[in-house]
A and B are shown apart, each in its own frame.
Chain A
Amino acid sequence: AQSVTQPDIHITVSEGASLELRCNYSYGATPYLFWYVQSPGQGLQLLLKYFSGDTLVQGIKGFEAEFKRSQSSFNLRKPSVHWSDAAEYFCAVGTAGSNYKLTFGKGTLLTVNP
């Protein structure tokens, strides 16, 4: 079965600083990878996804992520963080063998200092 690890439970950055959120997955074949963001008390919104092709994926709100098969990673990055980016971020993996469900990591809470 697939699994997802987000090693950082909580990250604090200053506004304007760069950001990288880590995500490692476990799956025997090529995974489908997703990053979602959740603002307090809200549902989840998809930031970006990777299915195949270019390993550098551009998403909404200035986020990007890079799929590295050799490292089983799909880290999320943003060059300059805005205060409105403060939220919880979830990495998820889906597989061709389990079309109907995604497995989520436990999330990384991002705090942005002014």
Chain B
Amino acid sequence: SQTIHQWPATLVQPVGSPLSLECTVEGTSNPNLYWYRQAAGRGLQLLFYSVGIGQISSEVPQNLSASRPQDRQFILSSKKLLLSDSGFYLCAWSLTTRGHNEKLFFGSGTQLSVL
């Protein structure tokens, strides 16, 4: 069966510090991978998605970046965090079958507080 691991569960970082959140998927090959952010009262916002190794699409201009060094690994990074980067970050994966995504499978999330 497929599983998705996301860590850490919570993170408190000072403004200006770097960030690295990691997500890995097991039990499947060549998944589509996503990073979403959920800010209070603002719903879910797609930040990045990737359809393959080294292929990253950015949805929202910001000081965050994403990388996919391996097929089932997706990393969210920042060189210098801003207060506005606080939020709940969710990694997700999906498979494209019959020409469309069946559904997204979400990780358990990382609560990031930038102070």
Contacts and interface: CB of A to CB of B under 8 A. Distances in A.
Contact of A101 (B59, B107, B108): B59
Given A46-B103, A49-B103, A102-B104, A90 B43 contact: yes
Interface string A65-87: 00000000000000000000000
Interface in B56-115: 57, 59, 90, 92, 94, 96, 99-109, 111
B24 interface: no
Contacts of B49: 100-101
Contact residues on B (Cβ < 8 Å of other chain), bracket: 20 to 34
Nearest to A6: B43
Contacts of B107: 43
Contacts, number: 66
Nearest to A4: B43
B43 A100 contact: no
B114 to A, nearest CB: 18
A94 B98 CA distance: 14
A44 B93 CA distance: 12
Contacts of A32: 100-101
B64 to A, nearest CB: 16
A94 B101 CA distance: 8
Most chain-B CB neighbours within 10 Å: which of A41, A43, A45, A103? A43
A51 interface: yes
Given A94-B101, A99-B101, A100-B101, A43 B109 contact: yes
Contacts of B104: 34, 36, 44, 46, 102
| CB-CB nearest 6 A-B residue pairs | A106-B43, A43-B106, A104-B44, A44-B106, A43-B108, A46-B103
